[in-house]
Amino acid sequence: MIGVLKTGQYIVENVDMLASEKDITDTMNLQELVPLNALSSKRLQEVSKKIVIEEVLQGKYLFRKGDKDNQTIYLLHGRVNLIDGFRKVTDELEGGTDKRRYAIASQQPRPVSARAASKCIIARIDSGLLDVLLSCHESSAEVKSYVSNGKFQFR
């Protein structure tokens, strides 16, 4: 069934609802992702409101070697090839495996390119915001918004 998925403040259209809804909106599945598994349930709820879910078509790049996009990206469904500077596939990641628990080549600048080997669903969150959520003490204020220039607004 293809439909519209609402996750927090984000809306993604043309998503396979049966495949994505159970994995994306369920905070228990977010808790499986590293380092999201270190967050309290309150912080995990904040992440679920700020995470961006995207469908990536086969052959499209999630990022390219050398990019400094400041994003933490998780593969939820599908397959992604990691490609070195010589256009050689060095690894293939697949949704549903243990590797999906970890961000895709999270180093900045990116050491490899990531290309969708099949239609994929990914979860993307700003790395700076994730760092703040991981380092904030539980009793501190809720992060209201994160501005890409590195400034935070708190409630």
Contact between residue 65 and residue 83 where contact means Cβ atoms under 8 Å apart:
yes
pLDDT band at 153 (very low <50, low <70, confident <90, very high): low
Distance from C-alpha of 135 to C-alpha of 132, rounded to nearest angstrom = 5
Distance from C-alpha of 12 to C-alpha of 63, rounded to nearest angstrom = 20
- CATH number of this structure's domain 2-154: 2.60.120.10
More confident residue, 144 or 2: 144
Separate counts of helices (H) and strands (E) for the chain: 4, 11
Contact between residue 81 and residue 73 where contact means Cβ atoms under 8 Å apart:
no
pLDDT band at 44 (very low <50, low <70, confident <90, very high): confident
Contact between residue 30 and residue 44 where contact means Cβ atoms under 8 Å apart:
yes
Query: Which residues have a Cβ under 8 Å from the Cβ of 1 and sit 6 or more positions away?
Result: 16, 17, 18
- The ranges assigned to domains in the chain are 2-154
What pTM does this model have? Answer: 0.73
**Where do we find the tokens 């990536």?**
56
More confident residue, 29 or 81: 81
pLDDT at 145 over 70: no
Distance from C-alpha of 121 to C-alpha of 142, rounded to nearest angstrom = 28
Calculate Rg over the CA atoms of the chain. 15
Reported as a single tens digit per residue, the pLDDT across 75-133 is 999 999 999 989 999 999 998 888 889 999 999 999 999 999 999 999 999 999 888 88
